[in-house]
Amino acid sequence: MIETRDLTKMYGELYALDRLTVKLESGDVYGFIGPNGAGKTTTMRILATLLTPTWGEATVCGYSIYNGAKDIRRVMGYMPDFFGVYDDMKVIEYLEFFAAAYRIQGPERRKKCDQVLELVDLGYKRDALVTSLSRGMTQRLGLARVLLHEPQVLLLDEPASGLDPRARIEMRGLIKELRNMGKTIMLSSHILPELADICNKIGIIERGKLLFDGDVQSAIQKVRQRTRIDVMVGDGRNAEAKAFLEKEKGIDGIEHKTEEDYLLVTLCEGLNDGSFIAEALVKNGFRVKMLKEEAVNLEDVFMGITKGITN
């Protein structure tokens, strides 16, 4: 559905985008992650045919960005991080205006507008002025606008930017619904834990270069060199358990997290199964209250792969 090959954008001597190569299949939800100035918005603007690259190729649904701009705009919906609204219009008027721009005519126009309003849960605001909407409602209205022509591909640039926690949860639920409808979605976000719940693939970009491209689990494995296990025993004996486990084979190191009172056990390289820890503790009279593999989230992955460099 989306494919780029050596996509590059330069401003003078500065590489805003440096030989980006990615591929999204039908139904993919691709989380595009990177610091400010990394090249995320530049990529989306090129894919939306709003910006011409310096060199390289990109196609959307088989159409080239160079000679298929009109075709791409028919199959794509692009929601930028900041977009203008017409304050003196009602919500339904705003949508009908854009539906007319998409050449949706007659009764079909009102039907489409009502459908997208229900999809984004703004039906009760159809006669409200756009200027009266909250930030979260405005974001949902912007998403409704790009869904009017039933695009196959969606580019969502920071759709949850500036939203309160409830609005973020609602936006996440809406993106999941679009995913279930079979849409191919590329979205950028700074709220990394939420991307893991939505996306089946991620790309991490820094200073215009793609540092990682693949599924979330592969990203976690790339960052985590050793398996680490959280261990807690009963009766306040964690310090005693630490001294005991330090003599066990297969353990490379143990850290006592005194504030939360549990042990962080690092296994030796190549060892992934920590079940022997529980067996050893129980055999020697300890009550095991917790034993689980340490969770690694997208924030850990992002910090492990990037260097904090921006253009």
Higher pLDDT, 311 or 144: 144
Q: Are residues 117 and 218 in the same domain?
A: yes
Instruction: Sort residue 150 into left (φ over 0), alpha (ψ -120 to 50) or beta.
Output: left
pLDDT digits (tens, 9 = 90+) for 110-169: 999 999 999 999 999 999 999 999 888 998 999 999 999 999 999 999 888 778 888 888
Q: Where are the beta strands (DSSP E) in 75-182?
A: 76-79, 153-157
- Per-residue pLDDT reduced to its tens digit, 93-107: 999 999 999 899 889
Decide: pTM greater than 0.75: yes
Mean of the per-residue pLDDT values of the chain: 89
**pLDDT digit string, tens, across residues 13-47:** 899 999 999 999 999 999 998 888 889 999 999 99
Residue 61 has pLDDT above 90, yes or no: yes
Q: Assign residue 150 the CATH number of its domain.
A: 3.40.50.300
Helix (H) or strand (E) holding 182: none
Same structural domain, 203 and 133:
yes
Neighbours of 304 (CB within 10 A): 16
**Are 218 and 229 contained in the same domain?**
no
Does 67 reside within a domain? yes
Output helix, strand, coil percentages for the chain, rounded to the nearest 5: 35, 30, 35
Last residue of a domain, one of 205, 222, 239: 222
**Spatial distance between the Cα atoms of 246 and 192, rounded to a whole number of angstroms:** 35
Residue 132 CA to residue 116 CA, distance in Å, equals: 19
Q: Which H or E run contains 85?
A: none
pLDDT for 309 equals 55
Q: Which structural domain, as residue segments, surrounds residue 179?
A: 2-222
Is there a domain that residue 155 lies in? yes
CATH code assigned at 276: 3.30.70.100
> Which pLDDT belongs to residue 166?
85
Q: Which of 26, 28, 22 is nearest to 47 (CA)?
A: 22
* Same-domain status, 273 and 191: no
Q: Is residue 273 domain-resident?
A: yes
